[in-house]
Amino acid sequence: MWVARRVLSSVAHSRQYAGDSSLFRRPRPGSSSDMELRYLQCTCCWRSRIPVAGIESLNTTISTPCEEEDNNDEHTAPLDACYTSEQRDAILMLLNNASLTELAGVKLLRGRKSVNIVDYRSKHGPFKTLESVVNVPLLKHKSAVVVFESILNPVKKKKVRIQLAKFIRPEVDRSWLEDANSIVSLVCATNRIAWAHMGRGMTVMEWQYLDCPNFLKGTYMASAYLHDVSAVVSLLPSADFYIIEKPSISVQNTALFPVMAHMRTVEAMLFALLEPRNFPQDTNIPPRVLNMMRTAVGRHFGLMVGESRTSGAQIVRRLMTESVTQKMPRINFPPELLVKYRNWFQMSSRSGGGEELCDALLQAVAFYELLSESSA
């Protein structure tokens, strides 16, 4: 090993004085210092020095002037020059007039960025140029370009068609559901139960809730739960089917175990009290109480954000408005219900029970509409 190092060292030293064609040579007088020969000292033999190339020369080769020009010219082109006047007007029209919900539907504008746009409009007035959009916090040049392209070329999301067997439990024959004249949609919360009675003609016949003071009190006393659930069942109207919301609570979140146990307890009592116990075991008789998946209703109305479901109050307000302004509304409300709940679903003044009433109504609407789609 020592002999090999001596041979390599002697060869390297001899090539230092070779002609210009040698790769290892001393720098000529006046030459660039980047090509100066460097050495690594061998720790085993102090006499052996191995020549290596200069780091500066490698860096000079790797970095090119084109990259520096690209970095310098990244923000030189103004945004307004990249679009036609019609395109600029369309972009500015949306950014200056869209609500928070409409802005959240644009790519990259969900969350804080849409809030920043509304705040900027209120403080500085409407956007006059596309270049002024870059002044909004969290919206820089590249993000603004993506936002503009998304406004001009929105991606139409294809609605996923939900099959009948995927949102109703237990599975029943479709003909039984199609023959139903009315249903009662029930939603259980931590301290109340809400329901909506809807007919086949999409007319709301009853819509209310009842507080249950014994829910989640003490150690889930069976007699207390039975008292509250029985009080609700005694008020429910007669219907062909009772649709109970099946909540989507993650079993991995241990903090929600008490809530999940509560939901399952109320659900089991509703099934037991609403299902006739004296009917014969005949396959031609359909079950009267069914479950409907909460996530299926959320997907039907576009309320899902990831695995979570957002509030449906805005959709309910729109349905109530359409009931009195359109000749063929999506659903029909009796005048007394419109008067009773006309101010319940405002974002600034949300009354107790409002969310449960929304969920019960939307579940009933989704049941009939998904049934109609799956039958087509």
User: What value does the mean pLDDT take over residues 24-44?
Assistant: 49
| CATH number of the domain where residue 148 is located | 1.10.150.280
Mean pLDDT for 240-259 is 83
Q: Which residues pair with 168 in a beta bridge?
A: 292
pLDDT tens digits, 100-136:
778 877 877 877 888 888 888 888 889 889 888 888 8
- pLDDT over 60 (residue 78): yes
41 compared with 343, residue with greater pLDDT: 343
Query: In sequence order, which residues have a C-beta less than 8 Å from that of residue 39 and are 6 or more positions away?
Result: 49, 50, 51, 52
Q: How far is C-alpha 60 from the chain's CA centre?
A: 47
pLDDT at 252: 67
Q: What is the pLDDT of residue 68?
A: 39
Comparing 42 with 83, which gets the higher pLDDT? 83
Mean pLDDT of 59-68: 41
Q: Choose between 374 and 150: higher pLDDT.
A: 150
Q: How far is CA 301 from CA 52, 186, 311, in A?
A: 68, 18, 11
pLDDT 10s digits, 284-323: 678 899 999 999 899 899 998 887 888 899 999 999 999 9
- The answer to whether position 226 is within a domain reads yes
Do 282 and 351 fall within a single domain?
yes
pLDDT beyond 60 at 62: no
- Across the range 231-241, mean pLDDT stands at 96
Residues 185 and 295 in one domain: yes
Residue 159 lies in a domain: no
Distance (Å) of CA 160 to CA 198, 300, 311, 312, 362: 25, 8, 20, 19, 18
Q: Which of 12, 35, 63 is the last residue of a domain?
A: 63
For residue 177, what are the β-bridge partners? none
**Is the same domain home to 99 and 243?**
no
pTM of the model: 0.58
More confidently predicted of 109 and 241: 241
Whether 207 is covered by a domain: the verdict is yes
Q: How far is CA 367 from the centre of its chain?
A: 23
pLDDT of residue 230 exceeding 90, the answer is yes
pLDDT in tens, 174-217: 888 888 899 999 999 999 999 999 998 999 999 999 999 999 88
Shared domain for 31 and 137, answered yes or no, is: no
pLDDT of residue 75: 46
| Position with higher pLDDT, 172 vs 254 | 172
pLDDT, residue 2, reads 57
367: confidence class by pLDDT, cuts 50, 70, 90: very high
Query: Is 74 inside any structural domain?
Result: no
Do residues 171 and 100 share a domain?
no
What is the predicted pLDDT for the residue at 181? 92
- For residues 245 and 74, the model is more confident at 245
In this structure, the answer to whether residues 310 and 265 fall within a common structural domain is: yes
Sign of CA dihedral 278, 280, 286, 287: positive
Domain stop point among 95, 126, 152: 152
For residue 185, give its domain range: 164-375
Q: Is 107 in contact with 148 (CB distance < 8 Å)? A: no
Which of 19-28, 57-66, 335-344 reaches the highest mean pLDDT? 335-344
State residue 51 phi and psi, 5-degree precision: -75, 140
- Provide the CATH number for the domain around residue 218: 3.30.420.10
Distance (Å, whole) CA 104 – CA 295: 21
* Band of residue 94 on the pLDDT scale cut at 50, 70, 90: confident
Average pLDDT, the chain: 78
The domain total for the chain is 3
Q: With helix as H, strand as E and coil as C, how does the chain read?
A: CHHHHHHHHHHHHHHCCCCCCCCCCCCCCCCCHHHCCEEEECCCCCCCEEEECCHHHHHHHHCCHHHHHHHHCCCCCCHHHHCCHHHHHHHHHHHHHCCHHHHHCCCCCCCHHHHHHHHHHHHHCCCCCCHHHHHCCCCCHHHHHHHHHHHHCCCCCCCCCCCHHHCEECCCCHHHHHCCCEEEEEEECCCEEEEEEEECCCEEEEEEEEECCCCCCCCCCHHHHHHHHHHHHHHCCCCCEEEEEECCCCCCCHHHHHHHHHHHHHHHHHHHHHCCCCCCCCCCCCCCEEEEEHHHHHHHCCCEECCEECCCHHHHHHHHHHHHHCCCCCCECCHHHHHHHCCCECCCCECCCHHHHHHHHHHHHHHHHHHHHHHC
Do 13 and 50 lie in a common domain?
yes
Q: 31-40, 89-98, 99-108, 161-170: lowest mean pLDDT where?
A: 31-40
Omega before residue 276 within 30° of 0, cis: no
Q: How far apart are CA 51 and CA 12, in angstroms?
A: 7
Cα(243)–Cα(360) distance, integer angstroms: 9
- Does position 157 have pLDDT exceeding 60, yes or no? no
